[in-house]
Amino acid sequence: MPNRTTSSSLDYISLGMPAPEQRQAINSSRNLHVNFIGNSRAMREISSTVELVAVSDAGVLITGESGTGKDVVARLIHLKSPRADLPFIALNCAAVPREILENELFGHETGAFSSAPARKSGYLEMANHGTLFLDELTEMDNETQAKLLRVIETKSFRRLGGKEEISVDVRILASTSLRVTEALQSGELRRDLSYRFSAIEITLPPLRERIEEIPLLVDYFLLLFTRKYKRPPKSFSAPAMKALMNYAWPGNIRELKNVVERAVLQCTDGIVGIEHLPMEISKANSPGPHITIPMGTALSLAEKEIILQTLHSVENNKSKAAGILGLSRKALYNKLHKFGNGITEVPDSSSLLPVSLLQRNKGTITS
Ligand SMILES: Nc1ncnc2c1ncn2[C@@H]1O[C@H](COP(=O)(O)OP(=O)(O)OP(=O)(O)O)[C@@H](O)[C@H]1O
Ligand SMILES: [Mg+2]
């Protein structure tokens, strides 16, 4: 059961393992544990969706950039499901060579191929009655995806080299760090298989779109690592926290966790300062170039200026610019589109400070 959570504000869910602030052991489900932290609106919605889908046997596709918590959500769904005491088996499709993946999934009969002296059970059998988590599903080749679809539809499969139809009762969860529409277009995800997951897709937002959660996550990771390394309690100084909030977090929560771990190891007193942070993050707080916008500039023009100057400062890298501006990539594209056809390039440095919107040469953003 969750240690502390309310329906209106998810802060902390810990399943299968005690929360750091609790000493009392909680019986673990086959050593599976999950700590799910969040207090943003998006994470509260995800938590409610998890509650809803956990009780069913429906397939769930969990998407999101690397490090956003897809594994965490898959474990949470399993631990909240009626299958919680049964196996949770994760197969990382990116970590297994494609030629071996089918063997891992379906197992094989004795003599199925020259190097198969003994019968071997696959992940599907291991997960029987429990949950199979196919991590990075889009790394599975097309043919294997077709075979997986058949398993989902018939609830049975054959081991490689086998004739016997083996029944399985497995709940399948899958993840990908690709966008589903792009994966469908590129053929990395079969459309027919995607229908099996399309009813329930959980998309984890990147950390840069939920920076309000950073202090909560930092507190949690501080507690985790000060305990792990037996260090005295610590907190982040205001400038260090500000630097964390100003950074774009391309590696998402995994990166934040590593940064806090490193800070705990480097900081010998109780306050983590800017100097304990990696360069790319401490830089985020140093006074950088300014944008000067004359008084009387219309808000829409000021917005345009900020967006174009930011793009310029990151050499037209849309993901970085979106991160700095606190926008999704899509929202940034929409705004650029709105600025009109006349825009062909981000501004060159000659039009940087001071800003005069009226003098700007128009350009279009190309990539
Ligand atoms: N909401 C969260 N609360 C607490 N810890 C989290 C949360 N989300 C992610 N983490 C931690 O961040 C790290 C990365 O999470 P996870 O492995 O689930 O990400 P992922 O999306 O599966 O990444 P990848 O695409 O690289 O596989 C893990 O150590 C995980 O425990
Ligand atoms: Mg993962």
Which of 39, 71, 218, when mutated, tests ligand 1's pocket best, judged by the most ligand atoms within 8 Å of its CB?
A: 71
Residue ending a domain, among 285, 310, 345, is 285
> Dihedral (C-alpha) 271, 212, 319, 335: value to the nearest 10 degrees?
-140
Whether 321 and 265 map to the same domain: the answer is no
Whether 176 and 253 map to the same domain: the answer is no
Q: What is the 3-state secondary structure (H, E, C) of 330-345?
A: HHHHHHHHHHCCCCCC
Determine contact, residues 63/206, Cβ cutoff 8 Å: no
Query: In a 3-state reduction of DSSP, which class is residue 239?
Result: helix
Give me 16's structure tokens: 């299968």
Whether 192 and 265 map to the same domain: the answer is no
- How, if at all, do strands 34-37 and 12-15 pair? antiparallel
Task: Please give the chain's pLDDT, 367 residues, in tens.
Answer: 333 333 334 555 555 433 333 322 222 345 678 889 998 999 999 999 999 999 999 999 999 999 999 999 999 999 999 999 999 999 999 998 888 899 999 999 887 776 767 888 899 999 999 999 999 999 999 999 999 999 999 999 999 988 899 999 999 999 999 989 889 999 999 999 999 887 789 999 999 999 999 999 999 999 999 999 999 999 999 999 999 999 999 999 999 999 999 999 999 999 999 999 999 898 766 655 677 788 888 888 899 989 988 888 888 888 888 877 877 788 888 888 888 744 433 333 333 322 222 223 333 222 2
At residue 106, φ and ψ (nearest 5 deg) are -100, -15
Whether 122 and 242 map to the same domain: the answer is no
> Dihedral (C-alpha) 290, 294, 299, 305: value to the nearest 10 degrees?
-40
Give the CATH number of the domain where residue 245 resides. 1.10.8.60
Whether 68 and 187 map to the same domain: the answer is yes
> Ligand 1 centroid to 312 CA: how many Å?
32
Q: Is the dihedral of CA 137, 138, 143, 145 positive or negative?
A: positive
The residue contributing the CA closest to ligand 1 atom 5 is 36
Whether 316 and 218 map to the same domain: the answer is no
The answer to whether residue 366 sits within a structural domain is no
> Which residue segment(s) compose the domain that 256 sits in?
212-285
The answer to whether residue 273 sits within a structural domain is yes
> Ligand 1 centroid to 352 CA: how many Å?
39
**Cβ contacts of residue 255 below 8 Å, gap of 6+?**
67, 207, 249
Q: Tokens 């309000």 appear where?
A: 212
The answer to whether residue 238 sits within a structural domain is yes
Query: In a 3-state reduction of DSSP, which class is residue 176?
Result: strand
Tell me the ligand closest to 218's alpha carbon: 1
> Ligand 1 centroid to 69 CA: how many Å?
3
Which contiguous run of DSSP H or E holds residue 35? strand 34-37
pLDDT of residue 25: 28
The answer to whether residue 136 sits within a structural domain is yes
Whether 159 and 227 map to the same domain: the answer is no
Determine contact, residues 135/71, Cβ cutoff 8 Å: yes
Q: Is the dihedral of CA 168, 173, 178, 180 positive or negative?
A: positive
The answer to whether residue 1 sits within a structural domain is no
Determine contact, residues 36/220, Cβ cutoff 8 Å: no
The rounded distance, in Å, linking the Cα atoms of 136 and 89 is: 14
Ligand 1 environment, Cβ below 6 A: 35-38, 64, 66-72, 177, 253-254, 257
The answer to whether residue 365 sits within a structural domain is no
DSSP code for 86: S
Closest residue by Cα to residue 72 from 109, 104, 46, 102: 46
List b or e across 80-91, with b for residues whose CB sees 16 or more CB atoms inside 10 angstroms.
bbebbebbbbbb
> Ligand 2 centroid to 269 CA: how many Å?
34
pLDDT of residue 253: 97
Determine contact, residues 321/311, Cβ cutoff 8 Å: yes
The residue contributing the CA closest to ligand 1 atom 10 is 69
Count how many Cα atoms sit within 13 Å of the Cα of residue 340 in the half-sphere of its side chain.
6
The answer to whether residue 351 sits within a structural domain is yes
> Ligand 2 centroid to 333 CA: how many Å?
28
pTM as predicted? 0.75
pLDDT of residue 344: 36
**Cβ contacts of residue 39 below 8 Å, gap of 6+?**
9, 10, 11, 212, 213, 216
The answer to whether residue 16 sits within a structural domain is no
List b or e across 243-270, with b for residues whose CB sees 16 or more CB atoms inside 10 angstroms.
bbbebbbbbbbebbbebbbebbeebeee
Whether 99 and 187 map to the same domain: the answer is yes
In the chain, the number of structural domains is 3
Residue ending a domain, among 285, 318, 337, is 285
Tell me the ligand closest to 62's alpha carbon: 1
Which of 15, 50, 72, when mutated, tests ligand 1's pocket best, judged by the most ligand atoms within 8 Å of its CB?
A: 72
